[in-house]
Structure 1
Amino acid sequence: MKIQPVISKTDHKSALKRIETLMDREKKSRNEEIELETLFVLVSNYEEKHILIFPPDPIDAIRFRMEQQGLTQKDLSKILGSKHRASEYLNKKIPLSIEAIRKLNNSLGISGDILIQKYTTKR
């Protein structure tokens, strides 16, 4: 087990490859478990500093969560209180209101940080 800092794209790629190899093993030695955990930390630190991850579009996040939970637009309309309003939001006709953000956060567990992101409406 030779663990090195992850400070370049090459290091990052190598570490990810090693992580994948270790993850695929059904039985790991204690040293391999330590190596895996250490590589996770090193890769996470590298990604946090060097890889920009933009928050998802709020409507895409809503659609994704609905899909995860097997919800329909009818279910969403119950959360938001109106079939028409649910349609307007999902079709990006209007921006999410503060009240809608609160309801979606409470009902679907989508972070407010994601729901408050700007997106282009289609008027």
Structure 2
Amino acid sequence: MNIKPIKTAEDNRAALARIEQLWDAEPNTAEFDELEVLSTLVEAFEEANYPFSPPDPIEAIRFRMEQLGLEDKDLVPYLGTRSRVSEVLKRKRGLTLTMIRNLNKGLKISLDSLVKEYQLVN
């Protein structure tokens, strides 16, 4: 096992290729240990160099609607009236705490996405 720190994108690609080769390694073997170490190194490199940021609330709502096959009118129980749904989806009205709670509980949209700041349109 010849493992070194991952410092560049090329190092990361090489580590990912090696992980693919080791993917079916049996536990309690040198190959499995190498797989675990490389996976940890890749995860640390990617978190530092390719940070993930949750989508803005409207993108998250629209994505969830698409996943569930929902239309705008289906959001009335979570956001209020049809006009309020329209205003929120067009970014003319911000989400209230009650709306955020309803969307999180009813549609299982991540709170991280729902509470993220976003630009309203006037």
Fold shared by both chains (TM-score > 0.5): yes
Q: Identify the residue that residue 8 of structure 1 maps to in structure 2.
A: 8
Matched residue, 1:72: 71
Do the aligned partners of residues 9 and 83 (structure 1) sit closer, same or farther apart at CA in structure 2, a change above 3 Å counting? Answer: same
Q: Which residues in structure 2 correspond to 1:41-80 (within 5 Å)? A: 41-80=40-79
Give the aligned length.
119
Query: Could you list the runs of 5+ residues in structure 2 that have no partner in the other structure?
Result: none
Query: Hey, what's the Cα distance between the residues in 2 that align with 1:112 and 1:29?
Result: 37
Percent identity over paired residues: 46
Q: Deviation of residue 88 (structure 1)?
A: 0.9
Shift of 1:46: 1.2
Task: Return the TM-score normalized by structure 1.
Answer: 0.77
CA distance in 1, matches of 2:32, 2:51: 28
Aligned-residue RMSD, C-alpha: 2.3
TM-score by length of 2: 0.78
Bigger Cα displacement from structure 2, 2-11 vs 70-79: 2-11
Tell me the CA shift for residue 63 of structure 1: 0.7
Runs of 4+ in 1 over 6 A off after TM superposition: none
Query: Which consecutive residues of structure 1, in runs of 5 or more, have no partner in the other structure?
Result: none
